[in-house]
Amino acid sequence: MPDRISLTSRIDGFSFTALQQLPEQTPIGGVVVIQEIFGLTDHIADMCAVFAGAGYAAIAPGLFERIERDFHAGHDPEGVKKGIKGVMSSPWPQVISDLQAAIDALPKPVYVTGFCYGGAATWMAAAQCEGLNAASCFYGRLIADLLDHTPKIPVMLHYGAHDASIPPENYERVRLAAPDAPLYLYDAGHGFCRAGSNDYNAAARDLAVERTLDWFARWP
């Protein structure tokens, strides 16, 4: 299980909770793991453990802590509504500052990845944060609305081919805007990395994680 640590954002001096999972050996680097709209869930803790198992120190910052300490939203309609409110109440400059605090707390080299909302936040971190080497974005629907923010580091993208919430024209816009970024489609729906999701697909998750780890290793 990950530890709970405290980070401080430079933008306003706010201290917020983050999950931290360390590898058994000396870390080969660090990975920022960015949450979905639901907060620091078991899924995010699990992904931190995946990266720690690969030798990285992993930190997942709680991006909605200003709204509610230990923010958590369920996957039912009310939970989704709460999560969306969390997104709308968290302006990008604040999110970027919180992510920078996580980057600064990790051993170098540092990479970033995230899921759904976190996939879009990963794109923004790649464009605006300092001290990152590469990024891997998982099914970030909002990326198509953030194409004016150009990543400064190599970015990889993952989408489910059967994702009802992200139509093909969405990720094709991303592909056209970032032709040098590998973009992979999986025989899966939305949230295919989250165990317990109706769209969970272990084979797709394992392949996407393998590609992500290979991608990070390319950019030491």
Q: Kindly provide the residue ranges of all beta strands, DSSP E only, lying in 140-196, ordered along the sequence.
A: 155-160, 183-186
**Kind of pairing, strands 183-186 and 57-61?**
unpaired
Residue 72 is a catalytic residue: no
- Could you give the maximum distance between any two Cα atoms of the chain, in Å? 43
Please name the residue that has the structure tokens 């094709």: 172
Whether the upstream peptide bond of residue 107 has omega within 30° of 0, thus cis, is no
Exposed/middle/buried for residue 76 (C-beta within 10 Å: 0-12, 13-18, 19+) = exposed
| DSSP helix/strand/coil, 82 | helix
43, 48, 158, 190: which one is catalytic? 190
| DSSP helix/strand/coil, 217 | helix
Per the structure block, which two tokens stand in for 50?
A: 């995946």
43, 48, 158, 163: which one is catalytic? 163
Residue 162 is a catalytic residue: no
* Gyration radius from the chain CA atoms: 16
Find, among 35, 27, 23, 31, the residue nearest to 61 by Cα: 35
Residue 48 is a catalytic residue: no
Rounded to whole angstroms, the Cα distance separating 106 from 80 reads: 31
116, 129, 137, 193: which one is catalytic? 116
User: Catalytic amino acids?
Assistant: 116, 163, 190
